Amino acid sequence: MNKTIFSFFLLAAASSLFAGCGRKGEDNILLKPISENVIGKWQQTRQYQVRDGKTEEIPFKENEGFCITFRADSTALLQATAPPQGQTFLRTVKWHADDKTETLSAGSPLRILRLDAENLEASSQQSYDMEDSTRLQGEFRWHFVRMDASERNLAEKLSSGRWLLAATFEKQEGAWAEIRSNVPDEAWREFRQDGIACSFCKEGGKVEQTESEWSVNLSTGELRIYQDAANWHSSTVEFENDSTLAIFCSGNAPGPGNVPLPAGTPGAKERKELYTLLHK
């Protein structure tokens, strides 16, 4: 996985999102207990930097975003969408809150500026550029709004459990035809919320298991399984329903630029694998 993204998650969990100045003004409500009122899903909507005493809004880069879900079991799910490609990466961290100091800790103390039913605001003396892996110094502020946690995005659906291979298809004369030869006896995939994708394949007496970093594009459905920071295998994912996952790929190795060769390339075959949700 890209070290830039991994570093961003550590920074966000440790000290960059919420550490900083105290609250000012009557409008900045902080509901307590924090540990109860912060529970839920929050989407970053605005970001600011203070320059020469003036607060200036910083526009988001194309395909950039951040979301955090605080859970009652003291874990938080972080989702960072990184420019320019817009791949979304997941991480999980532990967190706890302290009403007396008005801090939220996820590895180190984090200072909250505002917390009400729909808004969460915070500040820091540093930020992080996911695109070029640069730490930025200064005064920064972020604004989050509460989201409906029941509305799950593609990454959240993928990471909801283990997916068991149910059927494999090839495109033949423009139509999908199920193939029953040269398919494994048993196979499953799991896209964990700690950013690791696990796969299992058993065919005859041979068993293969792998673990790799993964990301997904919430708009296009592109799924990347990383060999290292600069190399990955791409496929496309779609949900037929909440418990049925389809993965589309070409039946050949990735070409230049880590992009699978087009299906029309000689020797390339379009494949579809259907998976069912084994457990949550």
Residue 58: its pLDDT value, please? 87
Ranges 39-53, 65-79, 252-266: which has the least confidence: 252-266
Note whether 127 and 161 are same-domain residues.
no
Note whether 45 and 178 are same-domain residues.
no
Which of 127, 147, 167 marks a domain boundary? 147
Note whether 195 and 272 are same-domain residues.
yes
Domain that holds residue 216: 154-279
Note whether 203 and 114 are same-domain residues.
no
Q: What are 74-105's pLDDT values in tens digits? A: 999 999 999 889 999 999 999 999 999 888 87
Note whether 168 and 127 are same-domain residues.
no
Which of 128, 147, 166 marks a domain boundary? 147
Confidence of residue 206 (pLDDT cuts 50, 70, 90): very high
Q: What CATH code is carried by the domain that includes residue 33?
A: 2.40.128
Residue 146 has pLDDT above 80, yes or no: yes
Q: What are 2-45's pLDDT values in tens digits? A: 444 444 444 444 444 454 444 555 567 999 999 999 999 999 99
CA neighbor of 69 nearest in space, from 138, 155, 127, 128: 155
Q: How far apart are CA 51 and CA 248, in angstroms?
A: 48
Summary mean pLDDT of the chain: 83
Residue 217 has pLDDT above 60, yes or no: yes
Note whether 104 and 194 are same-domain residues.
no
Residue 123 has pLDDT above 80, yes or no: no
Note whether 82 and 17 are same-domain residues.
yes
Note whether 170 and 59 are same-domain residues.
no
Note whether 171 and 266 are same-domain residues.
yes
Residue 43 burial by CB count (10 A; 0-12/13-18/19+): exposed, middle or buried? middle
Confidence of residue 130 (pLDDT cuts 50, 70, 90): low
**Residue of 127 and 216 predicted with greater confidence:** 216
Other CB atoms within a 10 A radius of the CB of residue 150 amount to: 6
Q: How far apart are CA 37 and CA 118, in angstroms?
A: 10
Note whether 111 and 132 are same-domain residues.
yes
Which of 126, 147, 168 marks a domain boundary? 147
CA-based R_g, the chain, Å: 21
* pTM summary value: 0.84
Q: What CATH code is carried by the domain that includes residue 266?
A: 2.40.128.20
**Residue of 236 and 51 predicted with greater confidence:** 236
Q: What are 223-258's pLDDT values in tens digits? A: 999 988 789 999 999 999 999 999 999 765 443 334
How many domains is the chain built from?
2
Note whether 17 and 120 are same-domain residues.
yes
Residue 17: its pLDDT value, please? 47
CA neighbor of 120 nearest in space, from 94, 143, 139: 143
Residue 14: its pLDDT value, please? 42
Residue 118 has pLDDT above 80, yes or no: yes
Residue 183: its pLDDT value, please? 87
Residue 215 has pLDDT above 50, yes or no: yes
Calculate mean pLDDT across residues 99-119.
84
Confidence of residue 139 (pLDDT cuts 50, 70, 90): confident
**Range of 47-51, 97-101, 169-173, 236-240 with top mean pLDDT:** 236-240
Note whether 166 and 89 are same-domain residues.
no
Residue 128 has pLDDT above 70, yes or no: no
CA neighbor of 162 nearest in space, from 71, 248, 243, 247: 243
